[in-house]
Amino acid sequence: MPLALLALAVGAFGIGTTEFVMMGLLPDVADDLNISIPTAGHLVSAYAIGVVIGAPLLAAVTARMSRRKVLIGLMVLFVMGNALSALAPDYSWLVAARFLSGLPHGAFFGVGAVVATGLVPAERKARAVSLMFLGLTIANIAGVPAATLVGQSFGWRATFLGVSVIGLAAIASLALVLPRDHAQAPVVGLRGELAALRSLPVWLALGTTVAGFGALFSAYSYITPMLTDAAGYADSSVTLLLALFGVGATIGNLVGGRLADRSMRGTLFGGLVSLVGVLVLFPVLMSTGWSAALAVVLLGTASFVTSSPLLLMVLEKASSAPSLASSANQAAFNLANAGGAWVGGLALAGGFGVTSPALAGAGLGVLGLGVALVAYGVDRRRVAVRGGRVVAGYVPGHAEVPVHR
Protein backbone atom coordinates (compact mmCIF):
# COMPACT_ATOMS: atom_id res chain seq x y z
CA MET A 1 0.00 0.00 0.00
CA PRO A 2 1.35 3.48 -0.87
CA LEU A 3 2.92 5.58 1.88
CA ALA A 4 0.53 8.39 0.96
CA LEU A 5 -2.27 6.42 2.67
CA LEU A 6 -0.39 6.88 5.95
CA ALA A 7 -0.42 10.65 5.44
CA LEU A 8 -4.20 10.52 4.93
CA ALA A 9 -4.50 8.39 8.07
CA VAL A 10 -2.57 11.01 10.08
CA GLY A 11 -5.09 13.63 9.03
CA ALA A 12 -7.95 11.27 9.87
CA PHE A 13 -6.41 10.66 13.32
CA GLY A 14 -6.37 14.38 14.08
CA ILE A 15 -9.93 14.86 12.83
CA GLY A 16 -11.21 11.88 14.82
CA THR A 17 -9.49 13.13 17.96
CA THR A 18 -10.93 16.66 17.82
CA GLU A 19 -14.41 15.38 16.91
CA PHE A 20 -14.84 13.10 19.92
CA VAL A 21 -12.61 14.67 22.58
CA MET A 22 -15.09 17.44 23.39
CA MET A 23 -17.40 14.89 25.06
CA GLY A 24 -14.75 14.19 27.68
CA LEU A 25 -13.85 17.85 28.17
CA LEU A 26 -17.35 19.28 28.62
CA PRO A 27 -17.12 19.62 32.45
CA ASP A 28 -13.71 21.34 32.21
CA VAL A 29 -14.88 23.74 29.50
CA ALA A 30 -18.10 24.49 31.40
CA ASP A 31 -16.20 25.30 34.61
CA ASP A 32 -13.62 27.47 32.87
CA LEU A 33 -16.13 29.51 30.85
CA ASN A 34 -18.78 29.65 33.63
CA ILE A 35 -21.50 27.95 31.61
CA SER A 36 -23.68 24.91 32.25
CA ILE A 37 -22.80 21.47 30.89
CA PRO A 38 -25.90 21.43 28.62
CA THR A 39 -24.79 24.78 27.18
CA ALA A 40 -21.29 23.41 26.69
CA GLY A 41 -22.88 20.49 24.85
CA HIS A 42 -23.78 22.92 22.06
CA LEU A 43 -20.07 22.88 21.19
CA VAL A 44 -20.53 19.30 20.01
CA SER A 45 -23.48 20.39 17.88
CA ALA A 46 -21.51 23.32 16.44
CA TYR A 47 -18.84 20.93 15.18
CA ALA A 48 -21.43 18.57 13.68
CA ILE A 49 -23.20 21.45 11.90
CA GLY A 50 -19.83 22.51 10.49
CA VAL A 51 -19.33 19.01 9.08
CA VAL A 52 -22.78 18.85 7.48
CA ILE A 53 -22.42 22.30 5.87
CA GLY A 54 -18.73 22.10 5.02
CA ALA A 55 -18.72 18.65 3.41
CA PRO A 56 -20.72 19.47 0.25
CA LEU A 57 -19.88 23.21 0.24
CA LEU A 58 -16.08 22.88 0.28
CA ALA A 59 -16.16 19.93 -2.12
CA ALA A 60 -18.19 22.04 -4.56
CA VAL A 61 -16.08 25.20 -4.18
CA THR A 62 -12.83 23.27 -4.75
CA ALA A 63 -14.20 21.11 -7.58
CA ARG A 64 -11.63 22.30 -10.15
CA MET A 65 -8.64 22.49 -7.82
CA SER A 66 -5.87 19.93 -7.54
CA ARG A 67 -6.94 17.35 -4.97
CA ARG A 68 -3.48 17.49 -3.43
CA LYS A 69 -3.84 21.24 -2.84
CA VAL A 70 -7.41 20.73 -1.58
CA LEU A 71 -6.33 18.17 1.04
CA ILE A 72 -3.49 20.37 2.27
CA GLY A 73 -5.76 23.43 2.31
CA LEU A 74 -8.41 21.55 4.30
CA MET A 75 -5.84 20.59 6.91
CA VAL A 76 -4.70 24.21 7.12
CA LEU A 77 -8.33 25.16 7.86
CA PHE A 78 -8.44 22.36 10.43
CA VAL A 79 -5.33 23.68 12.19
CA MET A 80 -6.75 27.21 12.22
CA GLY A 81 -10.02 26.02 13.76
CA ASN A 82 -8.32 24.09 16.55
CA ALA A 83 -5.80 26.84 17.26
CA LEU A 84 -8.62 29.37 17.52
CA SER A 85 -10.46 26.96 19.84
CA ALA A 86 -7.44 26.96 22.15
CA LEU A 87 -7.30 30.78 22.09
CA ALA A 88 -11.05 31.47 22.29
CA PRO A 89 -11.66 34.20 24.92
CA ASP A 90 -15.28 33.23 25.63
CA TYR A 91 -18.06 30.76 24.82
CA SER A 92 -19.30 32.52 21.66
CA TRP A 93 -15.84 32.54 20.13
CA LEU A 94 -15.38 28.87 21.03
CA VAL A 95 -18.67 27.96 19.31
CA ALA A 96 -17.48 29.74 16.16
CA ALA A 97 -14.07 28.06 16.34
CA ARG A 98 -15.63 24.60 16.76
CA PHE A 99 -17.87 25.27 13.75
CA LEU A 100 -14.76 26.25 11.76
CA SER A 101 -12.97 23.08 12.92
CA GLY A 102 -15.84 20.96 11.60
CA LEU A 103 -15.99 22.54 8.14
CA PRO A 104 -13.06 20.60 6.58
CA HIS A 105 -13.99 17.26 8.20
CA GLY A 106 -16.33 15.82 5.58
CA ALA A 107 -14.53 17.25 2.56
CA PHE A 108 -11.20 15.83 3.79
CA PHE A 109 -12.59 12.31 4.04
CA GLY A 110 -14.53 12.71 0.80
CA VAL A 111 -11.63 13.98 -1.32
CA GLY A 112 -9.20 11.74 0.59
CA ALA A 113 -11.23 8.65 -0.32
CA VAL A 114 -11.14 9.61 -4.00
CA VAL A 115 -7.37 10.06 -3.85
CA ALA A 116 -6.87 6.85 -1.83
CA THR A 117 -8.77 4.71 -4.34
CA GLY A 118 -6.77 6.28 -7.16
CA LEU A 119 -3.49 5.21 -5.59
CA VAL A 120 -4.18 1.46 -5.78
CA PRO A 121 -5.42 -1.13 -8.28
CA ALA A 122 -9.19 -1.69 -8.53
CA GLU A 123 -9.07 -4.87 -6.44
CA ARG A 124 -7.60 -2.98 -3.46
CA LYS A 125 -9.82 0.11 -3.38
CA ALA A 126 -11.83 -0.87 -0.30
CA ARG A 127 -8.66 -1.72 1.60
CA ALA A 128 -7.18 1.67 0.70
CA VAL A 129 -10.29 3.42 2.07
CA SER A 130 -10.16 1.32 5.25
CA LEU A 131 -6.51 2.25 5.82
CA MET A 132 -7.35 5.94 5.59
CA PHE A 133 -10.21 5.45 8.08
CA LEU A 134 -7.82 3.54 10.33
CA GLY A 135 -6.68 6.93 11.64
CA LEU A 136 -10.27 7.69 12.70
CA THR A 137 -10.78 4.40 14.56
CA ILE A 138 -7.37 4.53 16.26
CA ALA A 139 -8.26 8.03 17.45
CA ASN A 140 -11.02 6.42 19.52
CA ILE A 141 -8.54 3.99 21.08
CA ALA A 142 -5.57 6.27 21.75
CA GLY A 143 -6.13 9.82 20.55
CA VAL A 144 -9.30 10.69 22.47
CA PRO A 145 -8.22 9.17 25.83
CA ALA A 146 -4.79 10.80 25.57
CA ALA A 147 -6.24 14.17 24.55
CA THR A 148 -8.77 13.98 27.38
CA LEU A 149 -6.00 13.24 29.86
CA VAL A 150 -3.97 16.20 28.57
CA GLY A 151 -7.02 18.46 28.93
CA GLN A 152 -7.73 17.30 32.46
CA SER A 153 -4.07 17.70 33.49
CA PHE A 154 -3.04 20.91 31.69
CA GLY A 155 -6.35 22.52 30.77
CA TRP A 156 -8.68 21.99 27.84
CA ARG A 157 -6.89 24.61 25.75
CA ALA A 158 -3.76 22.45 25.75
CA THR A 159 -5.77 19.68 24.10
CA PHE A 160 -6.67 21.80 21.09
CA LEU A 161 -3.11 23.08 20.76
CA GLY A 162 -1.98 19.44 20.69
CA VAL A 163 -4.54 18.61 18.00
CA SER A 164 -3.24 21.58 15.99
CA VAL A 165 0.23 20.01 16.10
CA ILE A 166 -1.23 16.76 14.73
CA GLY A 167 -2.76 18.81 11.92
CA LEU A 168 0.62 20.37 11.11
CA ALA A 169 2.15 16.86 10.98
CA ALA A 170 -0.60 15.83 8.54
CA ILE A 171 0.12 18.87 6.33
CA ALA A 172 3.82 18.03 6.22
CA SER A 173 3.10 14.38 5.46
CA LEU A 174 0.67 15.19 2.65
CA ALA A 175 3.09 17.67 1.10
CA LEU A 176 5.96 15.18 1.21
CA VAL A 177 4.44 11.87 0.12
CA LEU A 178 1.21 12.54 -1.78
CA PRO A 179 2.00 11.98 -5.48
CA ARG A 180 1.14 14.92 -7.68
CA ASP A 181 0.12 12.73 -10.63
CA HIS A 182 -2.57 10.93 -8.55
CA ALA A 183 -4.10 14.10 -7.12
CA GLN A 184 -4.45 16.47 -10.04
CA ALA A 185 -7.47 18.68 -10.61
CA PRO A 186 -10.51 16.75 -11.88
CA VAL A 187 -11.75 17.61 -15.36
CA VAL A 188 -15.49 17.55 -14.59
CA GLY A 189 -15.64 20.70 -12.46
CA LEU A 190 -18.57 21.88 -10.35
CA ARG A 191 -21.26 21.19 -12.96
CA GLY A 192 -20.15 17.57 -13.29
CA GLU A 193 -19.97 17.11 -9.53
CA LEU A 194 -23.50 18.49 -9.09
CA ALA A 195 -24.76 16.27 -11.92
CA ALA A 196 -23.60 13.21 -9.96
CA LEU A 197 -26.00 14.15 -7.16
CA ARG A 198 -28.95 13.85 -9.53
CA SER A 199 -28.42 10.10 -9.61
CA LEU A 200 -30.99 7.96 -7.74
CA PRO A 201 -28.39 5.27 -6.88
CA VAL A 202 -26.22 7.94 -5.21
CA TRP A 203 -29.13 9.05 -3.01
CA LEU A 204 -29.99 5.45 -2.16
CA ALA A 205 -26.38 4.89 -1.10
CA LEU A 206 -26.49 8.04 1.06
CA GLY A 207 -29.80 6.88 2.54
CA THR A 208 -28.22 3.56 3.48
CA THR A 209 -25.47 5.47 5.29
CA VAL A 210 -27.97 7.57 7.26
CA ALA A 211 -30.09 4.60 8.33
CA GLY A 212 -27.22 2.14 8.83
CA PHE A 213 -25.05 4.39 10.97
CA GLY A 214 -28.17 5.84 12.60
CA ALA A 215 -28.60 2.33 14.02
CA LEU A 216 -25.15 2.58 15.59
CA PHE A 217 -25.64 6.02 17.11
CA SER A 218 -29.08 5.19 18.47
CA ALA A 219 -27.34 2.76 20.83
CA TYR A 220 -23.89 4.35 21.17
CA SER A 221 -25.27 7.75 22.21
CA TYR A 222 -26.69 6.10 25.35
CA ILE A 223 -24.01 3.48 25.95
CA THR A 224 -22.90 5.04 29.26
CA PRO A 225 -26.23 4.61 31.09
CA MET A 226 -26.49 1.10 29.68
CA LEU A 227 -23.07 0.20 31.08
CA THR A 228 -23.67 1.79 34.49
CA ASP A 229 -27.38 1.14 35.10
CA ALA A 230 -27.85 -2.21 33.32
CA ALA A 231 -24.40 -3.84 33.46
CA GLY A 232 -23.41 -2.37 36.83
CA TYR A 233 -20.11 -0.75 35.86
CA ALA A 234 -18.74 2.20 37.83
CA ASP A 235 -18.54 5.56 36.09
CA SER A 236 -14.75 5.40 36.22
CA SER A 237 -14.76 2.27 34.02
CA VAL A 238 -16.67 3.81 31.12
CA THR A 239 -13.62 5.41 29.46
CA LEU A 240 -11.86 2.05 29.19
CA LEU A 241 -15.00 0.39 27.85
CA LEU A 242 -15.38 3.08 25.20
CA ALA A 243 -11.80 2.34 24.15
CA LEU A 244 -12.99 -1.23 23.56
CA PHE A 245 -15.50 0.20 21.11
CA GLY A 246 -12.54 1.74 19.27
CA VAL A 247 -10.82 -1.66 19.20
CA GLY A 248 -13.94 -3.22 17.71
CA ALA A 249 -14.29 -0.38 15.17
CA THR A 250 -10.66 -0.84 14.09
CA ILE A 251 -11.16 -4.58 13.61
CA GLY A 252 -14.40 -4.04 11.69
CA ASN A 253 -12.85 -1.35 9.51
CA LEU A 254 -9.89 -3.53 8.48
CA VAL A 255 -11.97 -6.69 7.99
CA GLY A 256 -14.63 -4.77 6.06
CA GLY A 257 -12.01 -3.29 3.75
CA ARG A 258 -10.63 -6.71 2.86
CA LEU A 259 -14.03 -8.32 2.41
CA ALA A 260 -15.42 -5.44 0.36
CA ASP A 261 -12.66 -5.87 -2.22
CA ARG A 262 -14.05 -9.37 -2.78
CA SER A 263 -17.76 -8.54 -2.55
CA MET A 264 -18.92 -5.00 -1.86
CA ARG A 265 -22.63 -5.86 -1.71
CA GLY A 266 -22.09 -9.04 0.28
CA THR A 267 -20.00 -7.19 2.87
CA LEU A 268 -22.56 -4.40 3.15
CA PHE A 269 -25.51 -6.77 3.58
CA GLY A 270 -23.58 -9.00 5.98
CA GLY A 271 -22.45 -6.02 8.06
CA LEU A 272 -25.97 -4.58 8.36
CA VAL A 273 -27.45 -7.98 9.30
CA SER A 274 -24.72 -8.45 11.92
CA LEU A 275 -25.34 -4.96 13.33
CA VAL A 276 -29.08 -5.64 13.67
CA GLY A 277 -28.31 -8.94 15.38
CA VAL A 278 -25.95 -7.33 17.89
CA LEU A 279 -28.44 -4.57 18.71
CA VAL A 280 -31.29 -7.07 19.21
CA LEU A 281 -29.11 -8.99 21.68
CA PHE A 282 -28.09 -5.84 23.59
CA PRO A 283 -30.68 -6.19 26.40
CA VAL A 284 -29.37 -9.70 27.10
CA LEU A 285 -25.69 -8.82 26.71
CA MET A 286 -26.01 -5.85 29.07
CA SER A 287 -27.13 -8.11 31.93
CA THR A 288 -23.59 -9.03 33.06
CA GLY A 289 -20.25 -7.21 33.12
CA TRP A 290 -18.27 -9.48 30.78
CA SER A 291 -21.04 -9.77 28.18
CA ALA A 292 -21.56 -5.98 28.24
CA ALA A 293 -17.87 -5.47 27.42
CA LEU A 294 -18.24 -8.00 24.60
CA ALA A 295 -21.31 -6.12 23.34
CA VAL A 296 -19.32 -2.89 23.10
CA VAL A 297 -16.61 -4.58 21.00
CA LEU A 298 -19.19 -6.31 18.77
CA LEU A 299 -21.06 -3.03 18.24
CA GLY A 300 -17.89 -1.34 17.00
CA THR A 301 -16.96 -4.30 14.79
CA ALA A 302 -20.36 -4.82 13.17
CA SER A 303 -20.97 -1.13 12.49
CA PHE A 304 -17.58 -0.33 10.96
CA VAL A 305 -17.56 -3.40 8.72
CA THR A 306 -19.99 -1.37 6.61
CA SER A 307 -17.93 1.86 6.43
CA SER A 308 -15.73 0.92 3.45
CA PRO A 309 -18.45 -0.70 1.30
CA LEU A 310 -20.82 2.22 1.93
CA LEU A 311 -18.26 4.79 0.80
CA LEU A 312 -17.17 2.58 -2.09
CA MET A 313 -20.81 2.28 -3.21
CA VAL A 314 -21.12 6.07 -3.30
CA LEU A 315 -17.88 6.35 -5.27
CA GLU A 316 -19.10 3.72 -7.72
CA LYS A 317 -22.42 5.43 -8.34
CA ALA A 318 -20.74 8.80 -8.95
CA SER A 319 -17.59 7.51 -10.61
CA SER A 320 -17.37 10.37 -13.14
CA ALA A 321 -17.55 13.07 -10.41
CA PRO A 322 -16.96 11.43 -7.03
CA SER A 323 -15.58 14.20 -4.78
CA LEU A 324 -18.87 15.92 -3.95
CA ALA A 325 -20.81 12.66 -3.54
CA SER A 326 -18.09 11.19 -1.33
CA SER A 327 -18.07 14.31 0.83
CA ALA A 328 -21.86 14.18 1.03
CA ASN A 329 -21.47 10.68 2.47
CA GLN A 330 -19.62 12.21 5.43
CA ALA A 331 -22.46 14.68 5.90
CA ALA A 332 -24.83 11.69 5.85
CA PHE A 333 -22.72 10.06 8.57
CA ASN A 334 -23.18 13.10 10.81
CA LEU A 335 -26.90 13.22 10.06
CA ALA A 336 -26.95 9.60 11.18
CA ASN A 337 -25.26 10.70 14.40
CA ALA A 338 -27.93 13.29 15.14
CA GLY A 339 -30.87 11.24 13.88
CA GLY A 340 -29.82 8.05 15.63
CA ALA A 341 -29.40 9.85 18.95
CA TRP A 342 -32.87 11.38 18.51
CA VAL A 343 -34.52 8.01 17.80
CA GLY A 344 -32.74 6.37 20.73
CA GLY A 345 -33.77 9.27 22.96
CA LEU A 346 -37.43 8.77 21.99
CA ALA A 347 -37.25 5.13 23.08
CA LEU A 348 -35.61 6.11 26.36
CA ALA A 349 -38.06 8.92 27.06
CA GLY A 350 -40.95 6.56 26.29
CA GLY A 351 -40.08 4.50 29.35
CA PHE A 352 -39.09 1.35 27.47
CA GLY A 353 -35.95 0.76 29.54
CA VAL A 354 -32.32 1.78 29.54
CA THR A 355 -31.42 -0.67 26.73
CA SER A 356 -34.35 0.34 24.51
CA PRO A 357 -32.23 2.67 22.33
CA ALA A 358 -30.43 -0.44 21.05
CA LEU A 359 -33.71 -2.00 19.96
CA ALA A 360 -34.70 1.26 18.29
CA GLY A 361 -31.33 1.15 16.54
CA ALA A 362 -32.10 -2.36 15.33
CA GLY A 363 -35.18 -0.94 13.63
CA LEU A 364 -33.03 1.67 11.88
CA GLY A 365 -30.64 -1.10 10.83
CA VAL A 366 -33.52 -3.00 9.22
CA LEU A 367 -34.48 0.21 7.42
CA GLY A 368 -30.90 0.61 6.18
CA LEU A 369 -30.90 -2.98 4.93
CA GLY A 370 -34.16 -2.30 3.12
CA VAL A 371 -32.74 0.80 1.39
CA ALA A 372 -29.64 -1.19 0.39
CA LEU A 373 -31.85 -3.91 -1.13
CA VAL A 374 -33.82 -1.28 -3.07
CA ALA A 375 -30.53 0.12 -4.38
CA TYR A 376 -29.50 -3.37 -5.47
CA GLY A 377 -32.83 -3.80 -7.27
CA VAL A 378 -32.39 -0.47 -9.06
CA ASP A 379 -28.94 -1.56 -10.22
CA ARG A 380 -30.31 -4.82 -11.57
CA ARG A 381 -33.03 -3.05 -13.52
CA ARG A 382 -30.65 -0.45 -14.93
CA VAL A 383 -28.35 -3.02 -16.49
CA ALA A 384 -31.20 -4.87 -18.21
CA VAL A 385 -30.48 -4.89 -21.94
CA ARG A 386 -33.27 -4.43 -24.45
CA GLY A 387 -32.74 -4.20 -28.14
CA GLY A 388 -28.96 -3.73 -27.86
CA ARG A 389 -29.29 -0.64 -25.65
CA VAL A 390 -28.64 -0.33 -21.93
CA VAL A 391 -31.89 0.64 -20.21
CA ALA A 392 -31.60 4.03 -18.45
CA GLY A 393 -28.01 4.19 -19.65
CA TYR A 394 -26.46 2.96 -16.39
CA VAL A 395 -23.57 0.60 -15.94
CA PRO A 396 -22.40 0.02 -12.33
CA GLY A 397 -19.01 1.60 -11.81
CA HIS A 398 -19.33 3.98 -14.74
CA ALA A 399 -20.79 7.39 -15.39
CA GLU A 400 -24.55 7.51 -15.73
CA VAL A 401 -24.69 8.24 -19.44
CA PRO A 402 -26.37 6.49 -22.39
CA VAL A 403 -24.35 3.55 -23.67
CA HIS A 404 -24.88 2.11 -27.17
CA ARG A 405 -23.37 -0.83 -28.92
Q: Do 239 and 115 share a structural domain?
A: no
b or e along 175-206 (b: 16 or more beta carbons within 10 Å of the residue's beta carbon)? Answer: eeebeeebbeebebeeebbbbbbebebbbbbb
Query: Which tens digits make up the pLDDT trace of 224-254?
Result: 888 888 888 887 787 788 788 889 988 998 8
Q: Average of pLDDT values for 258-281?
A: 92
Instruction: Check residue 302 and give its pLDDT.
Output: 94
Of 162, 186, 210, at which residue does a domain stop?
186
Q: Do 127 and 36 share a structural domain?
A: yes
Amino acid, res. 382: R
Instruction: Check residue 185 and give its pLDDT.
Output: 56
Q: Do 199 and 182 share a structural domain?
A: no
Of 129, 155, 186, at which residue does a domain stop?
186
Query: Which tens digits make up the pLDDT trace of 201-213?
Result: 888 888 999 999 8
Q: Do 206 and 99 share a structural domain?
A: no
Nearest CA to 341 among 224, 221, 211?
221
Q: Do 338 and 302 share a structural domain?
A: yes
User: Are the beta carbons of 218 and 358 closer than 8 angstroms?
Assistant: yes
Instruction: Check residue 264 and give its pLDDT.
Output: 85
- Percent residues over pLDDT 90 in the chain: 34
Q: How confident is the model at residue 320 (pLDDT cuts 50, 70, 90)?
A: low
User: Are the beta carbons of 164 and 75 closer than 8 angstroms?
Assistant: no
Query: Which tens digits make up the pLDDT trace of 104-124?
Result: 998 898 888 888 888 888 788
Question: Does the pLDDT of residue 333 top 80, yes or no?
Answer: yes
Instruction: Check residue 398 and give its pLDDT.
Output: 40
Q: How many domains does the chain have?
A: 2
Q: Do 106 and 5 share a structural domain?
A: yes
Question: Does the pLDDT of residue 81 top 50, yes or no?
Answer: yes
- Residue 42 within a domain: yes
- Residue 401 within a domain: no
Query: Which tens digits make up the pLDDT trace of 361-404?
Result: 999 999 999 999 998 888 777 665 444 454 444 444 443 433 33
Instruction: Check residue 385 and give its pLDDT.
Output: 43
For the domain that residue 91 is a member of, what is the CATH number? 1.20.1250.20
Range of the domain at 41: 1-186
Q: How confident is the model at residue 22 (pLDDT cuts 50, 70, 90)?
A: confident
Q: Average of pLDDT values for 185-199?
A: 64
Taking CA 358 as the corner, what is the angle to CA 302 and CA 303, rounded to the nearest 5 degrees? 15
Q: Do 317 and 248 share a structural domain?
A: yes
Q: Do 11 and 150 share a structural domain?
A: yes
Q: Average of pLDDT values for 310-327?
A: 75
| DSSP secondary structure letters along 233-279 | --GGGHHHHHHHHHHHHHHHHHHHHHHHHH-HHHHHHHHHHHHHHHH
Q: For the whole model, what pTM was predicted? A: 0.78
Q: How confident is the model at residue 187 (pLDDT cuts 50, 70, 90)?
A: low
Q: Average of pLDDT values for 71-98?
A: 94
Q: Average of pLDDT values for 324-329?
A: 78
In sequence order, the β-bridge partners of residue 355 are none
**Would you call 377 exposed, middle or buried from its count of C-beta atoms within 10 A (0-12, 13-18, 19+)?**
exposed
- Residue 82 within a domain: yes
Q: How confident is the model at residue 283 (pLDDT cuts 50, 70, 90)?
A: very high
Q: Do 250 and 171 share a structural domain?
A: no
Q: Do 199 and 178 share a structural domain?
A: no
- Residue 335 within a domain: yes
Question: Does the pLDDT of residue 357 top 60, yes or no?
Answer: yes
- Percent residues over pLDDT 70 in the chain: 88
Taking CA 95 as the corner, what is the angle to CA 91 and CA 100, rounded to the nearest 5 degrees? 145
Q: How confident is the model at residue 220 (pLDDT cuts 50, 70, 90)?
A: confident
Mean confidence (pLDDT) of the chain: 84
- Residue 393 within a domain: no
Question: Does the pLDDT of residue 19 top 60, yes or no?
Answer: yes
Q: Do 204 and 170 share a structural domain?
A: no
- Residue 397 within a domain: no
- Residue 403 within a domain: no
Q: Average of pLDDT values for 63-68?
A: 82
- Residue 395 within a domain: no
